[in-house]
Amino acid sequence: MPTAREALLNAALAALGGLPWSAVRMVDVASAAGVSRQTLYNEFGSKEGLARALVRREADVYLQGVDRVLARPVPPVRNLAAVAEWTVAAAGARPVLRALLTGSWGERLPTPRPARAGARASAVPAQRRADAGVPSPADLLGLARDRAASVLSEGGGGEDVLRSCEVALRLALSYVVAPAPSAADGHWAEPESWRPTTPTITSVIETIFRVDTTSPRKTMP
């Protein structure tokens, strides 16, 4: 059973499915979560605090997904392709995450404004973390890249693997920014059952990884 905090974040995210963030009311979020409005304010402090927490959670969901696919016992190149696939699928299914990865925030979304300078720190540890700020697109992609490189370089490769991971994730991000025709209706399958947007994305990643980690000249394709 989710905690009150998780229930409130779920309710806020669900509300965004039908309303712009400016029209989402704290009292309605509390009601949908089955808790009092005071509980909501105790957890987040304000609507801005709720926005920061919601965006922070989306970043965490993405990175947890990266860790999950990297844990699969498959060849390194398949792991790298899986990270790219997860990036595209998760961004397609989660508008807030898509904005985090691209830096494109529309009026319907909770733009993550930083906490006021000098504001009293929240008594809730998770909120203090959220109030500290959310990663920029480059920061978030860098965190995913470093996670992938850490796992994939266990057999050697070092900087070459890091570069391969960087290129693969940027390739994935290009699919997020400009989806393939198969996503024209705006709907994506659930990430757990998703397959590559096209065989091309996996093929290109295989080429990147093979050339960057085996070529004596270490020249990118």
Task: Give CA–CA dist 103/135, Å, rounded.
Answer: 10
Q: Is residue 98 included in any domain, yes or no?
A: yes
Low-confidence ranges of the chain (pLDDT < 50): 183-184, 188-198, 216-221
pTM of the model: 0.82
User: Which residues in the chain belong to E strands, given as ranges?
Assistant: none
Task: Give CA–CA dist 92/187, Å, rounded.
Answer: 7
Q: Is residue 85 included in any domain, yes or no?
A: yes
The answer to whether 161 and 149 have CB atoms below 8 angstroms apart is yes
pLDDT of residue 217: 44
Q: Is residue 179 included in any domain, yes or no?
A: yes
The answer to whether 87 and 144 have CB atoms below 8 angstroms apart is yes
Q: Is residue 7 included in any domain, yes or no?
A: no
pLDDT of residue 218: 44
Q: Is residue 40 included in any domain, yes or no?
A: no
pLDDT of residue 137: 92
pLDDT of residue 194: 41
Name, in order, each residue with C-beta under 8 angstroms of 105's C-beta and a sequence gap of 6 or more: 99, 111
Count of domains for the chain:
1
The domain that holds 88 is classified in CATH as 1.10.357
pLDDT of residue 99: 93
Q: Is residue 95 included in any domain, yes or no?
A: yes
The full DSSP string for 9-59 is HHHHHHHTTTS-GGG--HHHHHHHHTS-HHHHHHHHSSHHHHHHHHHHHHH
* Dihedral angle, C-alpha 127, 137, 209, 162, nearest 10 °: -70
Half-sphere exposure of 108 (CA within 13 A, CB side): 11
Q: Is residue 23 included in any domain, yes or no?
A: no
**Domain ranges, residue 158:** 45-214
Q: Is residue 58 included in any domain, yes or no?
A: yes
The answer to whether 197 and 81 have CB atoms below 8 angstroms apart is no
pLDDT of residue 1: 75
